[in-house]
Structure 1
């Protein structure tokens, strides 16, 4: 309802009430008079009516003026203030209440509303800034987490306590493939992992539930470092080492486990390599057993029969010699096979060329006291097994120091155009036997637990 319409309704109601009261009072007064008094009053009514009527009109005019003042200075400005406050709070915080014709109290209230609006905008901007900063930090953390998970060599799956998958990386996706050759139309592997899916649909429930219960017990007992390890075999034949670590949420100053992180490491090749190693060792033992028995039998016969004929003694000695040669060949073959086994386990890594040469030169200088000069371009990355490279070149330096007394080495690395590099090792002022270099090339590198070469 418009304020003007309300104004006329309010004014009409007051006028009606006042006139009704005056008329009712006059009727009541007239009814209380007797006939003689009414007759006398009727004769004087022409003189009495103008003054009360004029007073009534004056009162009505004053009341109308006061009501008009009330509406113009209070009621209408208050309605405008309410509308402005609604606009500020819901539509446009920049809007300001502007009341020109109003009482001082209403003007003061308008100033308070405008000050509150300014404070609201400032608070809103502050909150928006904090939200933007938090969102930026969250995005940075999310990007950092995504980059970290994508660069991890093992699969990672993040789940809540109900087993619902919240996050996983590409390495985990590659592990869970229906068949080794399953692929999508674009050639990418098609796995069965997905956000929101249950971890129990791809891994056995019992080991995970058991690990989670163990983590809960460890948490209740107050242990801080909690990681559970288990082995799980997939239906594709892969053997996975599963490490489970919890993450927490704090509610009412009490930490509770809200989920867990699974790191998945494919142990299939490691198990196969261990099996090959065991087969090599067992094969070496079985093959050596026969030769050792022949040697032992011949030596026992020679010791038990000191009066052997020269021909028989020669035959036994020849048998010992042949068995020992066979034993030596088998040991050499086993060493070569084991070196190939270790080479199959080697892992390439990215390393700067100058960093690699610095490590090699430091190792050679500390072990053999040989001065090493390094020439390598900057910002050249190599992908190789750095540990094997350091051991191989250090082994060469040791041979040169022992047999050729080489005092200094010069290592020069040049980058090729087709993503390759060439390393040239020179020893100026000294000569090296070709057989020595051939021995270095053909000798497999096997080290003990202390890193010492076993040749």
Structure 2
């Protein structure tokens, strides 16, 4: 619904009054020329028909109004719409054309504007080519940095001095997800993100102390100052942090050089700390137990030294010695077993897709032994935790001895899961091998031609905490070496698979945030261009929040420093605890089965609140979505006090003459491709694109701050919508 134009309504009213005045004046003039008897006759004739005169006046007024409306659309409204479309054209970053409308002159003007826009677009393309040529080296360096960050096995986070994250790698994202108090909700997205505060994870005073340590070392002339600390997170994890400064090139490189930010390298040491605690307990138990046993044995030995000791007493003291020796032996055996297990777990193993390992082994054996190697039944979903280099050496060593000593012609690899471990078989057909030969191969140092290694097959197997044996299949006339290897844990498989699926150069950085600093002023007085936004949307069981309808999905995306961070999104289905309206299912496509068993709104809202903290909330027709959130405050205790912007109202501010401000209509005006309409995350992404197009248009109208944008939005016709 479009607000009626006041000017047009006033013009129609003025014409109506003029027609009425003309009729009255004309009637008065005619009346004044009539004789008294004529007046009586005219009065008798027109009196009963005065309503007909009024109707004719209304009909004439309607005809005039229609004509004026058509003229208004053609000559008054059309230029305004052309002006609004031209502003969109000026702000567009891609090629865009106006649709000619209105009079012949306006159509000609639109054509001329399109020609000028075409010239501008061609100039832009030429300039873009020149910039691309000039920035090729810079892009190459950026790609190298992105590749390095993506492939690092250590978590790395770069922050500005205010603690705002401006770069992180995939490992950091996965580690922060593990630190989340609700890692299963929306992929644990509430902690890590460009522009987010590192103080959501680490204590501000702790980071400030580390920074002060670095400043002191800089003043002392340290070439590579750094600081380390270990801290416990809110989720109970122990994190070892190494901090290094990011130098400010504008201040030089001397002892007085400034710092523009800092780099954090993170290691989760919770497990290693627990293992060290267990080892300390084992050593303490061994020490205390051995001290007691040695004291008892010393006393018994002293007594056994007496020649006149009675046989019964001698036997009793000998029994004491035997029992204490046995107890010490058991304690030492237990210590050896548990410490050996610790050594195995501390061996640097890595998560590797089983099919990748088998393929690598196939290529290496074929290259080294000059024999064909087949792969049988390798489970594509199996993730191993292995030291791939030495394990490949073992397979190649055994295969080469089979070829050299038994002239094996064909080899086969088989990988499958058996219980909680992976079963890897090296299979061949040929001469029978003795158990003594297998044991000799297992214990001999591995040799590869003229090269050798001190490691044996047994060393490698034990370091993996695995097992290895030789077995025959008499029915198939085959033999095989079987290895039982550790599987990656479920969390490690998930993390590794996600790293594999992610792009190798994700856009997890924004160096422009080095220029951002905390401001003492409220968000209302900050520039729109300096704010971070959380653009969100909800899908619900129906359209009546006050009548018991509930949220069934929340989707959100973040805009930081004028960039839409597509990979930092929030998407979560919600169990509403009630039936979904049948009429709404065709719209959003969410069925009852999809939400049954999902987290409740009481679980989801705290995670979404953390995701949106320190940002401005943005939605299309925000009154609807905010009403659902506000109705949950009493139940969940989660309140959203951030300022809110509505793209529907902002569109009405920028384009007051447009007929429609529906999301599809606005996207069409801005040439935005709509994907995933009526899904929470899809609508949030489209709304975010719309906001990015609206911001420069608002600035062109003199609306620069959040306060100005909110005040302008509240003055629009659509601000009266309530839910």
Cα gap change, 1:233/1:295 in structure 2, threshold over 3 Å: closer, same or farther?
Answer: same
Partner of 1:165 in structure 2? 165
Q: Please give the alpha-carbon distance, in whole angstroms, between the structure 1 residues aligned to 2:438 and 2:290.
A: 34
Q: TM-score, normalised by structure 1?
A: 0.52
Task: Name the residue aligned to 1:37.
Answer: none
Distance 2:156 2:165 in 1: 11
State whether residues 214 and 227 of structure 2, in contact with CA within 8 Å, keep that contact through their aligned partners in structure 1: yes
Q: Which moved more, 1:341-350 or 1:324-333?
A: 341-350
SS at match of 2:218: helix
Q: CA–CA distance in 1 between the matches of 2:263 and 2:246?
A: 7
Change (3 A) 1:333 1:179: same
Q: Helix, strand or coil: the match of 2:293?
A: helix
Instruction: After TM superposition, list the pairs within 5 Å mapping 1:131-280 onto structure 2.
Output: 131-176=131-176, 179-185=180-186, 188-251=187-250, 256-280=258-282
Cα pair 2:374 2:413 within 8 Å, conserved: no
Which digits, 9 at most, give the CA deviation of each residue in 1:431-453, with x for residues without a partner?
3698x999x989x969xxxxxxx
SS in 2 for 1:431: helix
Q: Secondary structure at the match of 2:249?
A: strand
Superposed CA offset, 1:375-404 (max 9, x none):
8969999944439967x98xxx9xxxxxxx
Q: Which of 422, 425, 430 is the matching residue for 1:422? A: 425
Higher helix share: 1
TM-score of the two chains, using structure 2 as the length reference = 0.34
Q: Residues 271 and 209 (structure 1 numbering): CA distance in 2 closer, same or farther, change over 3 Å? A: same
Q: Is the 8 A contact 2:414 2:426 kept in 1?
A: no
Structure 2 unaligned segments of length 5 or more: list them: 1-117, 399-404, 418-422, 444-456, 464-723
- Structure (1 or 2) with the larger CA radius of gyration: 1
**Residue among 276, 293, 296 paired with 1:294:** 296
What whole-Å deviation, never above 9, does each CA across 1:124-171 have from its counterpart, x for those lacking one? 97x866631454444444444334333333322111123221112343
State the secondary structure of the residue aligned to 2:258.
Answer: strand
Query: 8 Å contact 1:374–1:410 — kept in the other structure?
Result: no
The answer to which structure, 1 or 2, has the higher relative contact order (CA under 8 A, 6+ apart) is 2
Tell me the distance in 1 between the aligned counterparts of 2:374 and 2:261. Answer: 45
Structure 1 residues 389 and 320, CA, compared in 2 at 3 Å: closer, same or farther? farther
1:431 to 414, 427, 436: 436
Give the conservation status (yes or no) of the 8 Å contact 2:176–2:191. Answer: yes
SS in 1 for 2:146: helix
Cα contact 2:225–2:245 (8 A) shared by 1: yes
Contact map agreement 1:356 1:386 (CA 8 A) in 2: no
**Cα contact 2:201–2:234 (8 A) shared by 1:** no
Displacement of 1:230 in angstroms is 1.0
In 1, distance between residues paired with 2:372 and 2:317? 60
Q: How does 1:35-434 map to 2 (within 5 A)?
A: 131-176=131-176, 179-185=180-186, 188-251=187-250, 256-303=258-305, 305-349=306-350, 350=352, 383-386=384-387, 414-416=412-414, 418=416, 421-423=424-426, 431=436
Any idea what the Cα deviations from partners look like across 1:83-112, whole Å, max 9, x if unmatched?
Answer: xxxxxxx968999xxxxxxxxxxxxxxxxx
Q: How many residues align?
A: 301
Cα drift, residue 324 of structure 1: 1.5
Distance in 2, matches of 1:417 and 1:432, equals 24
Q: 1:307 to 1:252 in 2, by over 3 A?
A: closer
What whole-Å deviation, never above 9, does each CA across 1:300-328 have from its counterpart, x for those lacking one? 1112x222233432332233223212322
